[in-house]
A and B are shown apart, each in its own frame.
Chain A
C-alpha cells in the first residue's frame, strides 16, 4: 500500500522506505507539524466546505419504532487505498408515516484531499437501502483492501472490496446475513489466531413492526426501550479463509448470553495475547467475553467489574472505546450511557479486573443529564495523553419531559491533563464543539494527513459534522499502519508499544468501536515534546513479537509483519 498520493497533497518533505532485516517496515516520512505556543485543542467545523450532501434519516414516521433511535454508525477507512481516509455513513429508511420523506441510502464519500469529498456510493456499488444501524471495516479476505460489513434492521450485509473502488455484496455466499432482526455494533477479530478475521455481531432486541410497543405521552409517541422486547444473543462467525464463515455462536460460548447489545470493541483486555470482546448493553449488564485463545469465550463482565457502574447500577450503555488513558500500559474502557447516567471510565487494573474510575478521573458530571452515544479516546493535542470525545443527543422531544437535556445538545470534549485526569474543554475548543445536533456515531482519524486527529459525526435526522483539528502546539506525533503477513492483513489485534523518552505509549488495532462505528485503523500516537521514538514493539495477533529501532517523529509508518507465510 502506498500513501504517496495523500502526502503529495500535504507538502511532503521527504519520502523513504526501509526494510528492516529482522522485522519489517516500510517507512514514509511526512511533513513536520506546525508548531506554535498554544496548547488548546481547536476543532473547526468545516462541514460546509466538504461538499458532503448526506442527510441522515431515522425513518421516523411518528410511531416511535425502537430502531429509529439507534441509527446509526459510520466508518472511516481508506477504501481506495489512496492514503486518504474516506467516510461511510449508515442511514435509516422511511417507515410507515414517513413515506413522503426523501428516499434515503447509505453513503460513501471519497476523500479528495483538501477537505473535499465526493459521493461515490453508486459508483462503488453500495446503493443498498436497508435500514442501517452499524458498520465495521476490515480486510476479512486478506486481499489488501478493506471490506465493509453493515448491520441493519433486517439482514446484515457484507460488501467485499474488489480493489478497484467497487464493492460486491457477498453476504449470502459468506453466510453472515444473520438470524436476528436488529443488528447493532460489530467487530472483526481473529478469535483463534489463524490469520483470518472472524466476525462478531451484537444483536439488539427481538423487534419487528408487528410487535412494536407504542408509548404515547403528551401527544407524541415516545420510543419504547429495549426492556419491552425479548433479548437475543450475539453472533460469532468463524472465517474459514475461503470467503465463507461458519456460525460458531453456540460453540464459542457467545450465543448463550442474551442481551440488548449496542457498541462493541475487541481487544486483549487481560493481556493474555488473544482478543476479548466487550459489548455495551442497553439496560442490561455489559458483557466481557474473555477468550481462551482458541475461540472459546467465557462471559466475565460481572467479575471483571465492567457489568455495572461502581454502585451496581446497570446503565443503558451505547458506545465504547478502549485505550490507555492513564499511561499504565493497560487498555481502559470508556462507555457512553443513557440519560441520567454518567458515562463510565473503567480503568484496567490488570489481572482481568477493572474499576469504575469515572469520579476519580473527574469525568464531568455535566454529562449526566444527556444521552451519550459515539465516543473516542483520542489524543487530539498530541501531548501523549488521550482525550475523550463524546457525542450526545436524545431521540425523543425529551425537553418536554425533562428540562436538563434536549433532543439536540452539544457534544463534549474532555482533555486529559495527564494520568487519566480529565477536564471539560468543550466550550473552549473551537466552533466545532458548539454545534447542537442529536449526534450518534462518531469517528476519529487524520482526514487531512497533517498529523492530528479530526472528527466526523453522524447526526440523527440531519447533515453530518466534520471537524478539522486546528490545534496548534509544539507536540510531535507518529502514525502507524499495521500490515500482517501470517497475522491478518489489517493487523487487527496487534498490540503496539511506542517508547518515546520516558513515555511508553500503548495501542491496539481495532476493527469496530465507538457507537456501532469504525475508525482508527491507522494507529496514532501523540509524542508530546519527543521528536523521536526509541523503539516500536509490536505484538502481532499470532503471538509473534517484533521490535523496530529509532524513528523520527511526525511521520507515517507502515509496519509490515516479517513473515510472509500464512
Chain B
C-alpha cells in the first residue's frame, strides 16, 4: 500500500510496511478515536449567555456545562439503530420580530413568575428572577430574591456576590459588607468575591480594609487590570499619589485603556506636580469620554429597545437552563426558540438551541440550527465541526465532509478538523484520505493518541511497519 508522501510526515512511518496484526490494539484505538472526537465536540455554546450585565455574576447553564464536559463518546456515524426523523419539526425566525418594549418586559415578568411558581424553593429559579428584577431596576425585589437564594443555598458564592452588588446599587454599602462578610465566613475567596469586597469597602472609605481585600484578590489574579485601577484609586484617596501612579501604570501595562485609568493617572501626576504628564493623560481621558455619549435611556432609567431585547434573551436563556435542568425540554425549547425570535442572528442563542437538540437527540432539528449558524457567516470552525457531526449522524457524509473542510479553511492551524476528517474517512473506509489527515494532525501536534490513531489506519492499510513505527512514537511520547 502506498504511503503518504507528505514531506513533513515522520520518514520512518511514511516509508514502512507493517504486518497484518491490526486487530490487537483495536479496542484501545477505538477509545482513542472517541477521545479525539470528544475533544472536537467540546464546546461551550451557551458561554456568554449567562453573563449578567454590569458585573452581575453568572448562572452556569446546565446546557453549557453539559457541553463543557465532553459528551459521551460517540462515533461520527451513529449506529444503524438510530433512525433520525427525516424532516425537521422546526422553522427558524429569520428576521427579528417586532415587539413593543413594554410587552416584552411584561413577557419577561410572566416567564419569571412562572418560573418562581413552579420552583419556589429552587435557588437557580429565584436567581433568574432576581437577575431580571435587577436588570429592570426593581432592586428591592432583586435583593429579596438573592437574599432567599443565599438562604436556600448559602454555599453558592454567586448569590452572595449578587446580593452585595444589588445592595450597592441601592446605595446600601453597609449591607453589602454584611453580606460579603457572611460569605467570607463561609470561605468564599474567589477573585470576584474579593474584588467586590474591596469595592464595597472603598465605597465606605474603609481604605485599609479595602487594601487588604485587594491584596488578597491580587493573590488570586495579579494580572487583572481592574484590580490595579481599584488599588490606584484607593491609594490616591489615601494621599499616596506616587504609589497610585505606579498602580495605574501597571493597569495600563496589563492592557487597561479606560477613562478611569487615564483620569486616575492624570490626577496622580497632577498631585505630584507632574503637570505635563497629568495634562497628557487627562487629555486622553477627555478624548475617550467625548466618544462615550451619555445614553438618554440611562438617564431615564428605562431600558432601551436594544437593552430590553438583550435582557429578555438573557432571561429566557437562563430560564431555559433551569427548565432543562429540571428535565422540562418542552419549556426549554420554547424559551430558546423565543430567544432566537428576538435575535435571529445571535449565534449564542442559536448554539444554545442546537445544543438542546443535540442533548435530546433531535438530529434533524439540530442540523437546521447548525446550518443556520453557518449561513449567518460564523467563522468559528467549531460550528463547522458540530454541523459535520450531526450530518454524519444523519448519514449525510458529503455534507459532513464539506463542513469539516470549511472548518479547516477557517482555522488551518486547528488540529480538530484534521483529526475529525481522518476519523470520518476511516469510518467510511477511505483509508488514504484518513491517513493523510491523520498525518496532518500529527504534524501540527504530535501526541501519543495521534500516533496510535495513525497506527490504526496503517493497520487497516496492512502497513504493519507504519503501524509499528507509529506505535513506537506513541510509546515514546507517553514516556516523555
Return the contact of B203 from the options A215, A316, A339, A365 (Cβ within 8 A): A365
Q: Does B170 contact A (CB under 8 A)?
A: yes
Binds B, one of A10-18, A37-45, A401-409, A533-541: A401-409
Inter-chain CA distance A312–B260, complex, in Å, is: 5
Q: Which of B171, B266, B289, B299 contacts A368 (CB 8 A)?
A: B171
A349 located at the interface, meaning its Cβ lies under 8 Å from any Cβ of chain B in the complex? yes
**Bound form: Cα–Cα A360–B201 in Å:** 11
Supposing A218-B102, A305-B270 touch, asked if A312 and B169 sit within 8 A by C-beta, the answer is no
Contacts of A362 on B, CB cut-off 8 Å? 204-205
A359-B202 contact given A225-B294, A303-B279, CB 8 Å threshold: yes
Chain B residues with CB under 8 Å of A285's CB are: 286, 289
User: What's the minimum C-beta distance from A90 to chain B, rounded to whole angstroms?
Assistant: 24
Q: How far is the CA of A217 from the CA of B258 in the complex (A)?
A: 32
Contact of A355 with B294 in the complex, beta carbons under 8 Å? no
Interface flags, A343-362, vs B, CB<8A=1, else 0:
00000010001011101111
B60 at interface by CB-CB < 8 Å: no
| Inter-subunit contact B170/A217 (CB<8 Å) | no
Q: What is the distance, in angstroms, from B133's C-beta to the closest C-beta of chain A?
A: 9
- For the complex, give the distance between the alpha carbons of A94 and B50 in Å: 49
- Within A295-342, which residues are at the interface with B (CB < 8 Å)? 302-303, 305, 308, 310-312, 314, 316, 338-340
What separation, in Å, do the CA atoms of A228 and B299 have in the docked complex?
A: 11
Would you call A353 and B302 a contact (CB within 8 A)? no
A403 to B258, CA, bound (A): 30
Specify which of A225, A312, A362, A402 lies most central, judged by the most chain B CB atoms within 10 Å of its CB: A312
B302 adjacent to A312 (CB under 8 Å) = no
Distance (Å) between the CB of A222 and the closest chain B CB?
5
Which among B169, B259, B282, B294 is the interface contact of A404 at CB below 8 angstroms? B169
Question: Is A35's beta carbon under 8 Å from chain B?
Answer: no
A403-B140 CB under 8 A given contacts A312-B285, A355-B237, A366-B171: yes
Task: Provide the residues of chain A in CB contact with B300, threshold 8 Å.
Answer: 215, 217, 222, 225, 396, 401
Contacts of A369 in B (CB 8 A): 170-171
Question: Is A403 within 8 A of B137, CB to CB?
Answer: yes
Q: Is A367 an interface residue (CB 8 A)?
A: yes
For the complex, give the distance between the alpha carbons of A225 and B298 in Å: 10
A222 and B302 contact, CB distance less than 8 A? yes
Of residues 420 to 459 in A, which have CB atoms within 8 Å of B's CB atoms?
none
Contact B263 A312 (CB under 8 A): yes
Name A309's closest neighbour in chain B (CB-CB): B263
Q: B228 at interface (Cβ–Cβ under 8 A)?
A: no
Q: Does B139 contact A (CB under 8 A)?
A: yes
Determine whether the beta carbon of A311 is less than 8 Å from that of B294: no
A43 to B299, alpha carbons, bound, how many Å?
33
Instruction: Tell yes or no: B296 within 8 A of A by CB.
Output: yes
A227-B293, A353-B271 given; A359·B264 CB < 8 A:
no
Chain B contacts for A402, CB-based, 8 A: 137, 139, 301
Q: Are A365 and B102 in contact (CB under 8 A)?
A: no
Interface residues of B in 104-152 (CB under 8 A from A): 137-141
CA distance A368 to B282 in the complex (A): 26
Residue B173, interface by CB 8 Å: yes
**Which of B236, B259, B275, B294 is most buried by chain A, counting CB atoms within 10 A of its CB?**
B294
A224-B296, A303-B278, A404-B139 as given contacts; A357 in contact with B263, CB under 8 Å? no
Residues of chain A lying within 8 A (CB to CB) of residue B203: 359, 365
Q: How many A-B residue pairs have CB under 8 A?
A: 113
Residues of chain B within 8 A (CB-CB) of A349 are: 271
A 75-103 to B, binary, CB cutoff 8 A, 1 in contact else 0: 00000000000000000000000000000
Asked if residues B170 and A404 are in contact (CB atoms below 8 Å), the reply is yes
CA–CA, A396 and B296, complex, Å? 14
A283 interface residue per 8 A CB criterion:
yes
Are B260's CB and A367's CB within 8 A? no
Q: Which residue of A lies closest to B176 (CB)?
A: A365
* Contact of A365 with B140 in the complex, beta carbons under 8 Å: no
**CB under 8 Å from chain B, chain A span 172-228:** 215, 217-218, 222, 224-225, 227-228
Cβ–Cβ < 8 Å partners of B285 in chain A: 302, 312
Q: Which residue of B lies closest to A305 (CB)?
A: B267
Say whether A225 contacts B169, CB under 8 Å. Answer: no
The answer to whether A26 has its CB under 8 Å from any CB of chain B is: no
| CB atoms of B267 and A403 under 8 A apart | no
Whether B172 is near chain A, meaning CB under 8 Å from some CB there, is yes
Given contacts A311-B264, A362-B205, A404-B171, A316 and B237 within 8 Å (CB-CB): no
Given the contacts A368-B171, A404-B139, A227 and B302 also touching, CB distance less than 8 Å: no
Q: Is B233 an interface residue (CB 8 A)?
A: yes
**Is A365's CB under 8 angstroms from B271's CB?**
no
How distant is the Cα of A103 from the Cα of B102 in the complex, in angstroms? 37
A106 to B137, CA, bound (A): 37
> Which of A222, A227, A360 has a CB less than 8 Å from the CB of B237?
A360
Contact at B205–A310, with CB atoms within 8 Å? no
- The digit string for B288-311, where 1 denotes a CB below 8 A from any CB of A, is 010001101001111000000000
Query: B262 in the interface, Cβ–Cβ < 8 Å?
Result: yes
Chain B residue numbers with a CB within 8 Å of A302 are 266, 282, 285-286
**Cβ–Cβ < 8 Å partners of B296 in chain A:** 215, 224-225, 227-228
B439-457 interface mask toward A, CB cutoff 8 Å, 1 = contact, 0 = none?
A: 0000000000000000000
Q: Is A55 at the interface (CB under 8 A from chain B)? A: no
Please indicate the chain B residues that have their CB under 8 angstroms from the CB of A310 in the complex. 233, 236-237, 264, 267
Q: When the two chains form their complex, are residues B173 and A365 in contact, meaning their CB atoms are under 8 A apart?
A: yes
A359–B301 contact, CB under 8 A? no
Q: Point out the residues of chain B lying under 8 angstroms from A222, CB to CB.
A: 300, 302
On whether the beta carbons of A403 and B302 are closer than 8 Å, the reply is no
Which residues of A sit under 8 angstroms from B258, Cβ to Cβ?
A: 312
A303 contact set on B, CB distance < 8 A: 266, 270, 275, 278-279, 282
Chain B residues whose C-beta falls within 8 Å of the C-beta of A365 in the assembled complex: 168, 171-173, 203-204
Asked if A398 is at the interface (CB within 8 A of a chain B CB), the reply is yes
Residues of B within 8 A of A353 (CB): 270-271
Q: What 1/0 flags go to B225-237 for Cβ under 8 Å of A?
A: 0000000010011
Closest chain-A Cβ to B258's Cβ sits at a distance in Å of: 8
Quick one: which of A305, A308, A338, A367 contacts B299, CB cutoff 8 A? Answer: A338
In the bound complex, residues from chain B placing their C-beta under 8 Å from that of A359 are: 202-205, 237
Shortest 7 CB-CB distances between A and B: which pairs?
A: A312-B263, A368-B171, A402-B301, A402-B137, A225-B299, A312-B259, A365-B171
Besides A227-B294, A303-B275, A368-B171, 14 other A-B contacts (C-beta < 8 A): A225-B296, A227-B293, A227-B296, A302-B266, A303-B270, A311-B264, A312-B258, A312-B262, A316-B299, A355-B236, A359-B203, A361-B205, A401-B300, A403-B137
A-B contact pairs, 28 of them (CB 8 A): A215-B300, A224-B296, A227-B296, A285-B286, A285-B289, A302-B266, A305-B267, A311-B260, A311-B263, A312-B258, A312-B264, A312-B285, A312-B289, A314-B289, A340-B301, A353-B271, A355-B267, A357-B237, A359-B202, A359-B205, A360-B205, A365-B168, A365-B173, A366-B172, A368-B170, A396-B300, A401-B302, A402-B137
